[in-house]
């Protein structure tokens, strides 16, 4: 997690299709960036992406680039 990034007011959300076993990630729109964390470890590490990086990730996900064969 970026030390100077204040996530205390972040609104975290997860997919409605996420499993009930806690094996999912949560995302927060910070306005100037997007944050991603493990729902099982909300106080753990957080990945932070610029809006451009997030758009590229979403584009790849929509195109199926992350599917395992």
- CA 13 to chain centroid: 9
The gap from C-alpha 27 to its chain's centroid, in whole angstroms, comes to 3
**This prediction's pTM:** 0.79
Name the pairing type of β-strands 46-49 and 25-29: unpaired
pLDDT tens across the length of the chain (69 residues): 455 788 989 999 988 777 666 678 999 999 999 999 998 898 999 999 999 999 999 999 999 998 887
Both tokens of residue 27?
A: 């995302």
Per-domain boundaries in the chain: 1-69
């Amino acid at each position: 997690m970026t030390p100077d990034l204040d996530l205390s007011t972040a609104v975290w959300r997860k997919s409605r299709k996420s499993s009930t076993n806690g094996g999912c990630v949560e995302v927060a729109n910070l306005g100037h960036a997007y944050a991603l964390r493990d729902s099982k470890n909300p106080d753990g590490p957080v990945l932070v992406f610029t809006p451009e990086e997030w758009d590229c990730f979403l584009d790849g996900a929509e195109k199926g680039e992350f599917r395992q064969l």
